[in-house]
Amino acid sequence: MASVIKIYALFLGSALLMFGGGLQGLLLSVRGAEEGFSLLSLGLIGTGWSVGFVSGSLVVPLVVRNVGHIRAFSVMAAIGTVTILLNLLMINDVSWILLRALSGFCFAGAAMIVESWLNEVSDNRSRGTTFSIYVTVNMVSSVMGQFAMSVTGTAGYVPFVLGAISFICAVLPTALTSTPQPRPLSSARLDLRLLYGTSPVAAIAAFSCGMANGTFGTLAPVYGYAQGLDASGIAFLFALAAILGAVAQIPFGRLSDRVDRRLVMIGLSGFAALVALVLVVLNPVAGWPMYVLFAAYGFAANPIYAVAVAHANDFAREGEFAKIAGGMLLTLGIGLAIGPAVASLIMGAFAPVGLFVVTGVFHAILAIAAILRMRIRNAPDAADRAPFQPMSSEEQVTPETVALDPRADIADLEDAALDAEPSAAEKSDVHLSKV
């Protein structure tokens, strides 16, 4: 019973993090457009988040090694809270770009620490269930954060304060836990040779998903604002795309367990490219066609990265899952950082609907690459594949998410963690956590 209480307390901490993250991400894009920020500045705000998030995934394991999990999490949550409040006090594009990078850094660190605790309290038999519940909690909480903007609006201080409250309350479950400190955090390692050698399609998919979905997540709210949607309409638009995308992971994931996963990626990316083309041609104003097209985009684009991770794992040798998934994570992060900046230039040169040129092109590239690879390499037998696992939004996946994934090999995870003995500060935190 005690372990059940601990694990659900950690789910609560994760839910509060994702609620604040979902609200903040959508809020800054729309409020920035209302404040008259340039398209390039709005794109760089998205780039800042991705750079900070990837940096946090690389650096925070070292921070935790020096000061311990509890102190590190408290610092991340506190700085994240201060950052969103500074967004309110310093409303200018340069400040928001820098603050968004800091926010991404803290968010990555806080999420990794929660995930490491979940991994610690889960055994081999329960990791699959824990991972599934964790993904569901993250998806639901992020959508609820986006919906919250429809209630608070974007004007004034209320949405910023609500996000700050959510971030700082996330510290409570870990601060009060009596669970011993988890093992050292896993670090993502960029081994492009291993990743590309194992599955070229998976590497291309990771970068393409980063370019397309980083662009969509950052600049599609700006497009909605330009097309006449208010804050409530934009929140509903993105919640609809997220919900349809989450629902689509289950049927397409199960389908990919039965057929060549590249066929699924071809179908999904081809359909996402087609939706982007229709959006470019129609350029719909606020109304039902826009909602239908955004829902269709989310339905097609959201499952692709999770299918690509499963495809890479099908060809991985024993003990390589964490390394390959970590490489995909960093490749994805590069795309997430570049995509919004490139798309903002295209939108500025042509029209706001130009963002869908970027999403369409990169989904088309993925579909073509998968078709070509199918002519070169056969798919493994269905009986030899690890089962598909749904995943949270790409912008929320950390190396510790990979470690929590039930497909990861335990011995490989231990190798991915830092080898040194816990520091004195960390041992002190273990004692404090038991008091």
Identify the band that residue 319 occupies on the pLDDT scale cut at 50, 70 and 90.
Answer: low
Are 44 and 340 a contacting pair, CB within 8 Å? yes
Report yes or no: 100 and 28 within 8 Å, Cβ to Cβ. Answer: yes
Q: How far is CA 230 from CA 3, 41, 150, 153, 424, in A?
A: 44, 21, 9, 9, 52
Single-letter residue type at 205: A
Q: What 3-state DSSP class applies to 256? A: helix
Strand ranges (DSSP E) for 61-219?
A: none
Q: What are 321-346's pLDDT values in tens digits?
A: 777 877 888 888 899 999 999 999 99
| Average pLDDT value for the chain | 83
Q: Which is more confidently placed, 203 or 120?
A: 203
Six token digits for residue 365 = 């590239």
Which strand (E) or helix (H) includes residue 124? none
The 3-state DSSP composition of the chain as helix, strand, coil percent (nearest 5) reads 80, 0, 20
Separation between Cα atoms, residue 75 and residue 78, nearest integer Å: 5
Q: Model confidence over 343-380: pLDDT tens digits?
A: 999 998 888 899 999 999 999 999 999 999 888 888 77
Cα separation, 209 vs 195, in Å, equals: 16
Q: Which helix (H) or strand (E) holds 154?
A: none
* Closest C-alpha among 111, 363, 331, 107 to residue 215: 363
Fill in the DSSP letter of residue 421: P
Q: Which of 212, 210, 188, 207 is nearest to 196 (CA)?
A: 207
Q: Over 60: is that where the pLDDT of 412 sits? A: no
DSSP 408: S
Banded model confidence at residue 279, pLDDT cuts 50, 70, 90 = very high
pTM of this prediction? Answer: 0.85
Kindly list the domain boundaries of the chain, sorted by start residue: 2-434
State pLDDT tens for residues 172-190.
876 776 666 667 676 656 6
How does pLDDT run across 11-39, given as a tens digit for each residue? Answer: 888 889 889 988 998 999 999 999 999 99
Q: What letter represents residue 380's amino acid?
A: P
The predicted pLDDT at position 419 comes to 40
Give the pLDDT confidence of 213-236 residue by residue, as tens digits: 999 988 999 999 888 888 888 989
CATH for the stretch 2-434: 1.20.1250.20
pLDDT tens readout for residues 65-82: 888 877 888 888 888 899
Q: What is the pLDDT of residues 120-162, one digit of tens each?
A: 777 767 777 888 888 888 889 998 998 899 888 888 899 999 9
Supply the pLDDT for residue 390: 81
- Residue 5's pLDDT band, with cuts at 50, 70 and 90, is low
How far apart CA 435 and CA 179 sit, in angstroms, is: 11
Strand partners, 186: 417
State residue 13's pLDDT score. Answer: 83
